[in-house]
Structure 1
Amino acid sequence: MQIALAPMEGLVDNILRDVLTRVGGIDWCVTEFIRVNDRLLTPAYFHKLAPELLHGAHTAAGVPLRVQLLGSDPVCLAENAALACELGSQVIDLNFGCPAKTVNKSRGGAVLLKEPELLNQIVEHVRRAVPAHIPVTAKMRLGFDSPDGALVCATALAEGGAAHIVVHARTKTDGYKPPAHWEWIPRVQDVVKVPVFANGDIWSVDDWRRCREVSGAEDIMLGRGLVARPDLARQIVAAKAGEDVVEMTWAQMQPMLQAFWTQSVAQLTEKQAPGRLKQWLAMLTRNYPEAVVLFTALRRETDLHQVSRLLGMSHPVAA
């Protein structure tokens, strides 16, 4: 079983990747998508979104990071994939699942599921452009507005050279509305010879058990469920091994929040840092009543020192 941390645009940046991968249970993680249009990006741009490349393409906890590219130009994607490998990426991931309207309007993400031949061309071009030992992987949804083409799209990706495929078991039109249609995962696996990861609506160990039963997938990718329950991967590993599942307490969450805040203040602007903390806290309220209390106290707070005090930090951080 492999457990991956999903690439969530505007949420799982290098700061949250660092904090979450320290908890344990995560085998690898992915950058937020790096948008490729019509030019070769600069190394500085890659390092901005993937500073882990400066440290062997691993988080501080030693969890491997792969670079994810999003775009529709096979040649330009291939050139940027080659550069990402030169900068240290050990895997190249391709995004065919982003449901954002602005991304889809500019011919990126899930809208490409309408063009399986282009999917195949993109993977083929990238596969040829990067060193043979570096895997090229892909993430897709079941389709744009219907899952009818899911098997064709998955086949196109696999035949193009994808080493594995992560399937978010919803269409673009579904967005994030429950339920995820895990029953499509085995259908996808039946038509491709590469591993298929299940993704979508795994919020707890019980959800994972149901997903595995329905999908037959051993490998999974966790997104919002892991952000809202930072030890979910570790819980699943314990459950699979037949060990007792011990849930992280709010007291154990405190050092994580403080580390996240310290890095946010150091790397983001004074206006951005409180917002990113509140964004994560809002998701933690799903599982921690204490997060509701803290989120309420912080809701309108913008002063960095006051935020530090509310987080229980004896030495408030400074911008």
Structure 2
Amino acid sequence: MQIALAPMEGLVDEILRDVLTRVGGIDWCVTEFIRVSDRLLPASHFRKLAPELGTGARTRSGTPLRVQLLGSDPVCLAENAAYACELGAPVIDLNFGCPAKTVNKSRGGAVLLKEPELLHAILSEVRRAVPRDIPVTAKMRLGFDSPDGALDCARALADGGAGQIVVHARTKTDGYKPPAHWEWVARVQEAVAVPVYANGEIWSLDDWRRCREVSGVEDIMLGRGLVSRPDLARQIAAARTGQELEPLSWIDLQPLLQDFWQQARRKIAPRYAPGRLKQWLAMLTRSYPEALTLFTAMRRETDCERLDALLGCQSTARLADAEPCTELS
């Protein structure tokens, strides 16, 4: 069984990847999508969204990182995929699931599910360009506005050379509205010979058990559920072997929040860092009532030093010398 951390644009960046993978239970993670249009991107662009390329394409916990590309030009995607491999990407992942209107309007993400032939062409070109020992994988939704073509799309990806397929069990039109149609994951797995991952609406151990029963697959990708409950992957990994772990308490979560904020303070401009903290904290309110209290207290706060105080962090003057918070065992 493999558990992956989903690539969520504007949320799961290198800071949150670092924090969540140190909690444990995650086998691999993926960058936010790197948009490819009509040119070979410079190394700086890859390293901006995948700074882990400088540390062996692994997070601080040692969790492997895949580089995800998004676009519609098979040749241009292939050239950028090959270059990403030169920079150290151990796996190339291709995005056919993003539902954002701006992305779809520029022929990226889920809109390509209307064109199975193009999916096949993209996979074929990328697979030819990437060294044989480096896997190429793909993420898809069930379709744009209907799941009727899901099996054709999955076959196009697998036949083109995808070694794994992650299926977000909703269409683009569904967005993120429940439910996730896990029964379609089972149909996709029956249609292709490569491993299929189930993704969507796994918020708890019970959700995971139902997903496994309905989808029939063991491998999963966690997105919002893991961001909202940072130890969900660790709990699922333990439950898979018959163990039961005590859930991460709000007290246990404090070092993670502090570490996240200290990294944000070092890496993100002061005008944007508070927003990133509030974004994660807002998602934590789903699992922790205490998060709502803290979120309410800092909702309108923009001063970083006052946010330091609310989180019990060190002042700005000491951030440069601060040691990262201890990871959970």
2:14 aligns with: 14
1:27 aligns with: 27
1:300 aligns with: 300
8 Å CA contact retained: 1:30, 1:65 = yes
1:159 aligns with: 159
1:241 aligns with: 241
Instruction: State the one-letter code of the partner of 2:35.
Output: R
Q: Give the Cα separation in 1 of the matches to 2:245 and 2:152.
A: 39
1:47 aligns with: 47
Local SS of the residue matching 1:302 = coil
2:5 aligns with: 5
Q: Give the Cα separation in 2 of the matches to 1:318 and 1:111.
A: 44
Deviation at 1:177, TM superposition (A): 0.2
Deviation at 1:222, TM superposition (A): 0.2
8 Å CA contact retained: 1:305, 1:318 = no
CA 1:280–1:80: 2 relative to 1, 3 Å: same
Q: Give the Cα separation in 2 of the matches to 1:165 and 1:58.
A: 21
Local SS of the residue matching 1:297 = helix
1:194 aligns with: 194
For the pair 1:261 / 2:258, whether they are aligned, the reply is no
Q: Give the Cα separation in 1 of the matches to 2:171 and 2:245.
A: 32
Local SS of the residue matching 2:48 = helix
Deviation at 1:238, TM superposition (A): 1.0
Q: How many residues align?
A: 319
Q: Give the Cα separation in 2 of the matches to 1:22 and 1:174.
A: 32
Identity %: 75
- Detail structure 1 runs of 4+ shifted over 6 Å in the superposition: none
2:326 aligns with: none
Deviation at 1:314, TM superposition (A): 4.3
1:212 aligns with: 212
Could you give the per-residue CA deviations for residues 243-267 of structure 1, whole angstroms, max 9, x where no partner exists?
1231001111111011100111111
Local SS of the residue matching 1:163 = coil
1:109-120 correspondence to structure 2 within 5 Å: 109-120=109-120
1:98 aligns with: 98
2:325 aligns with: none
Instruction: State the one-letter code of the partner of 1:310.
Output: L
Instruction: State the one-letter code of the partner of 1:60.
Output: R
Could you give the per-residue CA deviations for residues 183-241 of structure 1, whole angstroms, max 9, x where no partner exists?
10110011100000000000000000000000011000000000000000000011111
1:229 aligns with: 229
Q: Give the Cα separation in 2 of the matches to 1:65 and 1:151.
A: 28
Single out whichever of 237-246 and 122-131 deviates more from structure 2. 237-246
Local SS of the residue matching 1:38 = coil
Instruction: State the one-letter code of the partner of 2:236.
Output: I
Q: Give the Cα separation in 2 of the matches to 1:265 and 1:229.
A: 23
Single out whichever of 235-244 and 110-119 deviates more from structure 2. 235-244
8 Å CA contact retained: 1:119, 1:153 = yes
8 Å CA contact retained: 1:203, 1:225 = yes
TM score, norm. by length of structure 2: 0.96
8 Å CA contact retained: 1:26, 1:233 = yes
Q: Give the Cα separation in 2 of the matches to 1:156 and 1:59.
A: 32
Q: Give the Cα separation in 1 of the matches to 2:254 and 2:195.
A: 37
2:327 aligns with: none
Instruction: State the one-letter code of the partner of 2:164.
Output: H
Instruction: State the one-letter code of the partner of 1:286.
Output: R
Single out whichever of 149-158 and 234-243 deviates more from structure 2. 234-243
Deviation at 1:315, TM superposition (A): 3.7
Local SS of the residue matching 1:171 = coil
Deviation at 1:318, TM superposition (A): 5.9
Instruction: State the one-letter code of the partner of 1:53.
Output: L
Deviation at 1:49, TM superposition (A): 0.5
Q: Mind listing any 5+ residue stretches in structure 1 that lack a counterpart?
A: none
Local SS of the residue matching 1:251 = helix
1:81 aligns with: 81
Deviation at 1:4, TM superposition (A): 0.1
1:285 aligns with: 285
Deviation at 1:39, TM superposition (A): 0.2
